[in-house]
C-alpha cells in the first residue's frame, strides 16, 4: 500500500495529462506531492530527506513549467532527481562506514561488505542511467511518449533491475531450514 501511495502523484499526473495537457498535469502533480508529504508528516511525524528534495524539485521545476509555459522544466525534473539519487548512492561509499544500500537493507539481508559495495554501485549507476535515458526520451520523442515513459517505462526498468538484482543476490541468501 505504501508503494502505491508513493506513486499517487505520478498516477494523477498521467491521468490528468491524458484528459487535459502537460500544464494541468503539472499543476496536479504539484498539489498531489504537497498532499503526499503533508499526509506523511501527519501520519508518521517524519518525512524522508528524499521526499523533501522531491517536493522542492517539483515545486521549482513544476512552478517554472507553469510560470514560463515551458514543459522542458517538468521533464528535466526526472533526470535531476535520478542523478541526485545516483550521486547519493555512489557518494555514500565514501561517507560513513556503510554504503547507503547497506544502511537501508542490512536489517533484512546479511551480505559481505564487498557485495554491499557492488550492489550500491549498481544502484547508483542505475539511477544515473535513468537520468540520461530520460534526456534521450524527452529530446527524441513526443511529450505523450515521454509521459508514458515516465509513468510506465521508468517503473518497468526498475522492476527489471530489481529482478536482475535478486538473481545477483540469490547465492548470498541462506536457504530456509526445514
pLDDT of residue 178: 52
C-alpha span between 24 and 71 (Å, rounded): 11
pLDDT of residue 61: 97
> Whole-prediction pTM value?
0.88
For residues 54-67, give the mean pLDDT.
96
- Among 176, 172, 40, CA closest to 106: 172
C-alpha span between 168 and 162 (Å, rounded): 10
Confidence of residue 50 (pLDDT cuts 50, 70, 90): confident
Contact status, residue 80 vs residue 56, Cβ threshold 8 Å:
no
pLDDT tens string 71-128: 999 999 999 999 999 999 999 999 888 999 999 888 888 888 899 999 999 999 999 9
Domain ranges of the chain: 1-70, 78-178
Contact status, residue 62 vs residue 77, Cβ threshold 8 Å:
yes
pLDDT tens string 155-168: 999 999 999 998 98
> What is the residue-averaged pLDDT of the chain?
92
Amino acid at each position: 500500500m505504501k508503494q502505491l501511495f508513493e506513486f499517487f502523484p505520478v498516477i494523477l499526473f498521467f491521468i490528468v495529462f491524458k484528459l487535459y495537457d502537460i500544464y494541468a498535469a503539472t499543476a496536479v502533480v504539484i498539489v498531489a506531492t504537497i498532499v503526499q508529504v503533508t499526509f506523511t508528516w501527519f501520519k508518521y511525524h517524519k518525512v524522508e530527506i528524499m521526499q523533501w528534495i522531491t517536493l522542492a524539485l517539483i515545486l521549482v521545476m513544476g512552478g517554472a513549467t507553469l510560470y514560463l509555459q515551458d514543459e522542458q522544466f517538468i521533464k528535466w525534473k526526472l533526470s535531476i532527481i535520478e542523478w541526485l539519487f545516483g550521486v547519493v548512492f555512489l557518494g555514500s561509499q565514501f561517507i560513513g562506514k556503510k554504503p547507503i544500500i547497506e544502511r537501508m537493507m542490512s536489517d533484512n539481508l546479511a551480505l559481505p561488505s564487498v557485495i554491499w559495495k557492488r550492489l550500491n554501485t549498481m544502484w547508483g549507476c542505475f539511477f544515473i542511467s535513468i537520468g540520461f535515458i530520460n534526456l534521450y526520451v524527452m529530446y527524441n520523442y513526443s511529450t505523450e511518449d515521454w509521459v508514458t515513459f515516465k509513468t510506465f517505462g521508468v517503473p518497468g526498468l526498475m522492476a527489471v533491475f530489481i529482478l536482475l538484482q535478486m538473481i545477483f543476490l540469490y547465492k548470498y541468501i541462506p536457504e530456509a531450514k526445514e
